[in-house]
Amino acid sequence: MKASLLKIIIIQCLTSHWSAGARTNILTVEQPSFLKVTVGKSATFNCSFVTVSPTFTLKWTLCCGDNTPLEKHLVYKDRVILGPSYKEITIINLSEQDTEKYCCHVQTGHGEEGNGNGTLLQVVPDIKYPAGPGIGGCTGNLWLLMEILRLVLLTFIIILLSIIVKKLS
């Protein structure tokens, strides 16, 4: 009996730390480290952790040091969708100003606490090749290839005409 009790005490000491006289269990929280998304699209990332506690609170914050829940920031009003139990977050209609680090903070009913290292969201512009006028709907790389061919042919015609003019003079 004493050996079992000693094992339990050792396990408790190894899995928790003492802070200002109160015991707090450290909870390992994981989230993706990086996500790259195009302007105008949505980004979804999640927060995962393992606990035996049936209850927990989870909040997402900006910059990891901010305590304000993400959905409370005016800039994210109507653009943040929190998944079941808040473990998943989706930010819609992204702009380059949304490039930031987003952090997950968890606290369980058993006194466990943990913070994710943050997900760096990079929002990049959507670069598209313009559709050329009068090309019959050709877009992107095909349009670019046709423009290059047109320039090569024009250059060839100019060289050919200059050779003909030299021979005639």
For the 23-124 domain, the top CATH level (class) is mainly beta
Q: Write down the number of H helices and E strands in the chain.
A: 2, 12
- The per-residue b/e assignment along 126-138, b for 16 or more CB within 10 angstroms, e otherwise, is eeeeeebeeeeeb
Q: How far is CA 37 from the centre of its chain?
A: 6
Task: Name the residue ranges covered by the structural domains of the chain.
Answer: 23-124, 129-169
Tens digits of residue pLDDT in 52-100: 888 999 999 988 888 888 888 888 889 999 888 888 999 999 999 999 9
| Residue 74 CB-density burial (10 A; 0-12 exposed, 13-18 middle, 19+ buried) | exposed
Outline where the chain has alpha helix (H). Answer: 2-15, 140-168
Rounded to whole angstroms, how far apart are CA atoms 37 and 64?
Answer: 20
Question: Which residues are paired to 18 by β-bridges?
Answer: 23
Q: Give 169's pLDDT tier (boundaries 50, 70, 90).
A: confident
Compute the 3-state secondary structure of the chain and give helix, strand, coil in percent, each to the nearest 5: 35, 35, 35
Predicted TM-score (pTM) of the model is 0.62
Beta-carbon contacts of 8 under 8 Å, excluding residues fewer than 6 positions away, are none
Tens digits of residue pLDDT in 101-143: 999 999 999 999 999 999 999 999 988 755 555 444 445 566 6
